[in-house]
């Protein structure tokens, strides 16, 4: 599989994933330094970063990386490794079923770029769009009043027209930041046209942008984009992950938390599905209960 092409496809589809790269592998692990895989939000692994026990640890850590949007170095250790201290930017997984060896895998979340929707063709709208593209935001110039679902920020810079309709659409789309380019007198008049709750009004900023004494279109655009970045980087906006949480289970033999996928070893025992980290644990469970 061409992982580069696959990663490009996932990015184009705005599907979040984690790029997992083995940076250190100690024998007798099956993986080698440089091995790579893509981990999707549902726990699917495309590529190779080790055996089933390692994959389970990678799935759990990858989901955490998607939830936080932060890269992490995963240290996978055998069950007899003893105490290994946690470190900033790193997490430790001890695999009781691992035959030996240790691994370090770098997990880098690839999240869809925040959508910056812009209404209007004014010079300020053009500047905001240019800054947004420079910052690798997904800039969408609105042809009408409809804001796409999942938009992070909406800038209404039409200087008139159907401003209230665009703002209403932005609120319904879940935008965390809505900026209306208007004077301090006209802005409240536009907001009076909305049937908005107090929580919704708190997401609307007018005049849009940080107060930096901006006068020109370029300065106003800069102040607006700076306020959008502040919103994105604050705790107010979670990473745009739409993938459902994967189903997990605990291996009754070794106690490892495993992600349930089509390839996860399991048994149906007395009408109940039992999931395992690897075929070895499944065989041990079968042997114990057969006795």
pLDDT the model gives residue 142: 96
Is 140 a residue whose pLDDT tops 90? yes
pLDDT the model gives residue 79: 65
Mean residue pLDDT of the chain comes to 86
pLDDT > 90: what percent of the chain? 56
Contact predicate 135/213, CB 8 Å? no
pLDDT the model gives residue 291: 59
Is 254 a residue whose pLDDT tops 70? yes
Phi, psi of 116, rounded to the nearest 5 degrees: -110, 105
Residues 6+ apart with CB under 8 A from 253: 97, 276, 281, 282, 284, 285
Contact predicate 97/254, CB 8 Å? yes
pLDDT the model gives residue 157: 96
pLDDT the model gives residue 250: 80
pLDDT the model gives residue 241: 53
Pick the more confident residue, 266 or 187: 187
**Residue entry with tokens 């990386």:** 65
Written as six digits, the tokens of 195 are: 């049937």
Overall average pLDDT of the 272-286 stretch: 78
**Domains of the chain by range and CATH?**
3-111 (no CATH), 115-233 (3.40.50.720)
Overall average pLDDT of the 209-229 stretch: 95
Overall average pLDDT of the 76-89 stretch: 67
DSSP structural state of residue 193: T
In sequence order, what E strands does 145-241 have? 153-156, 177-180, 204-205
Other CB atoms within 10 A of residue 266 CB: 15
Is 82 a residue whose pLDDT tops 70? no
Position 98 confidence tier, pLDDT thresholds 50, 70, 90: low
Q: What is the bridge-based pairing of β-strands 36-40 and 17-25? A: antiparallel
d(CA 148, CA 128): 18
Position 226 confidence tier, pLDDT thresholds 50, 70, 90: very high
Instruction: Please give the distance of CA 8 from its chain centroid, rounded to a whole number.
Output: 16
pLDDT the model gives residue 51: 82
pLDDT the model gives residue 287: 78
Contact predicate 138/159, CB 8 Å? no
Q: Could you tell me how many residues make up the chain?
A: 291
Please tell me whether the peptide bond between 28 and the residue prior to it is cis, using omega within 30 degrees of 0: yes
Contact predicate 180/204, CB 8 Å? yes
Query: What sections of 13-120 are H helices per DSSP?
Result: 52-68
Max avg pLDDT among 28-37, 201-210, 241-250? 201-210
Enter the pTM of the model.
0.70
Query: What sections of 155-208 are H helices per DSSP?
Result: 163-172, 186-191, 198-201
Question: 46-72: per-residue pLDDT in tens?
Answer: 999 988 778 888 998 999 899 888 999
Please report, for residues 134, 207, 284, 287, 289, the alpha-carbon distance to residue 252 in angstroms, rounded to integers and kept in the order given: 51, 59, 10, 13, 12
d(CA 43, CA 260): 8
Question: 255-277: per-residue pLDDT in tens?
Answer: 777 778 777 888 877 778 887 77
């Amino acid at each position: 599989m061409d992982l580069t092409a696959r990663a490009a496809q996932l990015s184009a589809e705005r599907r979040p994933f984690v790029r997992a790269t083995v940076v250190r592998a100690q024998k007798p692990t099956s993986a080698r330094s440089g091995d790579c895989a893509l981990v999707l939000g549902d726990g699917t692994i495309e590529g190779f970063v080790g055996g089933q026990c390692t994959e389970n640890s990678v799935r759990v850590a990858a989901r955490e990386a998607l939830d936080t949007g932060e890269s992490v170095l995963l240290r996978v250790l055998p069950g007899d490794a003893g105490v290994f201290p946690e470190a900033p930017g790193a997490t430790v997984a001890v695999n009781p079923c691992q035959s030996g060896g240790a691994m370090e895998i770098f997990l880098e979340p690839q999240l869809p770029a925040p959508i910056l929707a812009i209404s209007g063709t004014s010079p300020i709208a053009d500047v905001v769009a240019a800054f947004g593209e420079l910052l690798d935001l997904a800039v969408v110039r609105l042809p009408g009043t409809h804001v796409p679902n999942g938009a992070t920020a909406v800038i209404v810079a039409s200087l008139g027209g159907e401003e209230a309709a665009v703002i209403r659409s932005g609120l319904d789309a879940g935008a965390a930041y809505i900026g209306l380019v208007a004077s301090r007198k006209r802005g409240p008049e536009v907001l009076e046209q909305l049937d908005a709750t107090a929580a919704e009004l708190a997401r609307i900023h007018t005049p849009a942008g940080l107060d930096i004494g901006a006068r020109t279109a370029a300065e106003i655009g800069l102040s607006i984009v700076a306020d959008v970045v502040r919103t994105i980087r604050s705790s107010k906006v979670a990473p745009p992950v739409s993938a459902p949480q994967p189903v997990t289970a605990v291996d009754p033999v070794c106690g490892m938390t495993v992600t349930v996928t089509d390839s996860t070893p399991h048994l149906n025992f007395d009408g109940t599905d039992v999931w395992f980290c690897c075929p070895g644990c499944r065989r041990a469970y079968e042997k114990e209960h057969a006795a």
